[in-house]
Structure 1
C-alpha cells in the first residue's frame, strides 16, 4: 500500500483552512442599493406590467362600446375621482377602519384559539368542526341579525369582518404551530423544556410563515368583508360599500366604478404592506 506524499516525507497533513467571512465594504453596499433602485428603470421589470395595463385598457374600451350599461368610460371615472377626492377619501377611511378593526379582533381571537387547539387535542376535536361550519355559513345572511343584536353603526360591520377573517387565520396558524420538525421537538423534550418554552421558542417562530400567509389572504379579504357588511347591514351612509349602493340606485355608473377602483388600489396597498413586513420579519426564513 502506497503512502501519501506527506506521510512519506514524515510531515503532518496541512490543516484545513476555514474560508474567511467576506464583509462587504461601504462602497459595495452602496453599489448594491443603487442596483436595487435602478432595476425599476429596466424594461424587463416594468414593461410586462405596462403591457398588461394597455391590454386591459383596450379590453375596457371594447366592453364600453359593446356594453355601455356595464362599463363606464375611463375618463368619466377619472373625472369623478378628481371632482371630489375628499368624498372618496372620507369613505375610504371609514371602510378601512372597519376592515382593520375587524381584522384585529378576528386575528387575536383566531390566534388564541389556534394555540389552544394545537396544545389540547380535546379542544381541537370539539372546536374545529364548528369552525368549519362557520366557514361555510353565508355570513351575509346573518348581517340583519347582527344589526338587531348590536344596533346601527360600526358594530355589526366590524363583527362581520372579524368573522370573515377568522377561519383562514385559525387554520393557517393552527397548522403552523404543529408544523415543527420532530427531531427539533425531541431536542426540546430532551432538555425538559416546558410547554410554554416550546410554544414561545419553537412553535410560534415556526408558525410565522403560516401567519403571514394568512395575513396576505385576510388583509384584502377584510376589505371585502367590510364592504359586504356595508351593503348588507343597514344603519350607516358612510363607507365605500354605501357609496356603491347609493350610486347604483341612482344609476351613476362612473361613481360605482370609481369606488371599486379605490377598493382595488387599497387592497393592493394592504397586500404590499404585508409582503414588506414579511420580508422584514422573516429575513431568516428560506422562503
Structure 2
C-alpha cells in the first residue's frame, strides 16, 4: 500500500511520461537502469586491441595460407573441378567492368528485396505482438513457410512473372521476411511485465508503449535476424538469377553462362565477388549493431 501511495502521489504531479522517467517503486531508480545495462560497464577490455595485434590477424593469415595450399593442391589434382588461384585472379583482371556491372545488378536486387521483406515483416511482427488472434493465426504458418525450401518455388515465380526483376525481388524478400518476422515478434513481447505495468499505471497508450519500450526491447532480436538475412539476401538474388536462364545480367547469370561454357575461372571469380559482397554486408550490419546496441550484453562478446 505504501508503494501504491507513493506511485499515486508522484503520478498526480506530472503532466506526461517524460516527467516521470519510468521510476520503479521498488528500487526508486529509473527502470531503464534495470532493463538496459550501463553503456560504460559493458565495454570489453579486448575491444581496445587493435587490428594490428598478432592475436587478431595471425590466426586469419594462417587459415588463409592453409586454404590456399589446399586449393592449389586440389587444382593440380582435379583441374576439371578447380581452377588455379592465378587463373581466377587473371579472370578478374581481364574483365573488371563485366564483374562490376553484374555485381551491381545482384546487389541492387538483394538490397531492394531485403528492404521489402524487412518492411513487411516488421509491420506484421507489430500486429502479431499486439493481437493474440493474429499471433495464433500467423505464426504457425510463418514457421512452416520458414522451413520450406524457397529455392523450389523460384522457377515457378520465373514462369509467373517472367525474366524481369520481380521474381528475384520476391525470392529475396521471402528469404529475408521470415527470420525478421519471427525474431522481431519475439523481441516485441520480451518486455518485463513490471515495466509494462508501470507504463499502464501511467495510462500510456499502445503506441507510446510500442515506441518507448517494445521497439527498444526488440532491437537485439532484430539485429540477430539482420546478421542472418543480410548475407542471405545475396543468396536469394543469385538463386533467382540461376532460376531465370533468360536474365540479362547479374552474377548468378554470369555463373550460369560460364558454367555452360566450362569457364571455371569466371565461375569462381563470380563466386569470390559474391562472398566478398556477403562479407561486407555482414560487417556493415555488425558495425551498426555495435553502434546502436552499445548498452546491450550481446555486443560484449562481439567486441572481443
Residue by residue over 1:82-130, the C-alpha shift from the partner in whole angstroms, topping out at 9 and shown as x without a partner, is 1111100000000000000100000000001000011101011111122
CA 1:215–1:55 in structure 2 vs 1: closer, same or farther (change >3 Å)? same
> CA RMSD of the aligned region, Å?
1.6
Contact 1:143–1:160 at 8 Å: present in 2 too?
yes
Is residue 178 of structure 1 aligned with residue 192 of structure 2? no
Tell me how many residue pairs correspond in the alignment: 253
Alignment partners' CA distance in 2, 1:180 and 1:266: 35
Q: Which of 52, 63, 66 is 2:74 aligned to?
A: 63
Structure ranking higher on relative contact order (CA contacts 8 Å, 6+ apart) = 2
- Residue pairs, 1:132-171, within 5 angstroms: 132-171=143-182
Alignment partners' CA distance in 1, 2:70 and 2:109: 34
Residue by residue over 1:8-34, the C-alpha shift from the partner in whole angstroms, topping out at 9 and shown as x without a partner, is xxxxxxxxxxxxxxxxxxxxxxxxxxx
Larger Rg: 1
Runs of at least 4 residues off by over 4 Å: 35-38
**Residue 240 (structure 1) aligns with:** 251
Contact 2:83–2:264 at 8 Å: present in 1 too?
yes
Alignment partners' CA distance in 2, 1:139 and 1:36: 39
Is the partner of 2:153 in helix, strand or coil? helix
Is the partner of 2:191 in helix, strand or coil? coil
**Residue 131 (structure 1) aligns with:** 142
Contact 2:245–2:253 at 8 Å: present in 1 too?
no
- Residue pairs, 1:105-116, within 5 angstroms: 105-116=116-127
Contact 1:116–1:123 at 8 Å: present in 2 too?
yes
TM-score of the two chains, using structure 1 as the length reference = 0.84
Q: Which of 112, 122, 126 is 1:101 aligned to?
A: 112
Contact 1:153–1:235 at 8 Å: present in 2 too?
no
Contact 1:147–1:234 at 8 Å: present in 2 too?
no
Alignment partners' CA distance in 2, 1:267 and 1:143: 21
Unpaired runs of at least 5, structure 2: 1-45, 299-304
**Residue 200 (structure 1) aligns with:** 211
TM-score of the two chains, using structure 2 as the length reference = 0.80
Kindly state the Cα deviation for residue 37 of structure 1 after the two structures are TM-superposed: 9.1
Residue by residue over 1:254-281, the C-alpha shift from the partner in whole angstroms, topping out at 9 and shown as x without a partner, is 1100000000011000000001111111
Kindly state the Cα deviation for residue 36 of structure 1 after the two structures are TM-superposed: 8.1
**Residue 241 (structure 2) aligns with:** 230
**Residue 249 (structure 1) aligns with:** 260
Kindly state the Cα deviation for residue 136 of structure 1 after the two structures are TM-superposed: 2.5
Is residue 92 of structure 1 aligned with residue 103 of structure 2? yes
Alignment partners' CA distance in 1, 2:219 and 2:281: 18
Kindly state the Cα deviation for residue 150 of structure 1 after the two structures are TM-superposed: 2.3
CA 1:122–1:36 in structure 2 vs 1: closer, same or farther (change >3 Å)? closer
Alignment partners' CA distance in 2, 1:161 and 1:235: 18
**Residue 219 (structure 1) aligns with:** 230
Is the partner of 1:41 in helix, strand or coil? coil
- Residue pairs, 1:26-65, within 5 angstroms: 39-65=50-76
Alignment partners' CA distance in 1, 2:47 and 2:211: 35
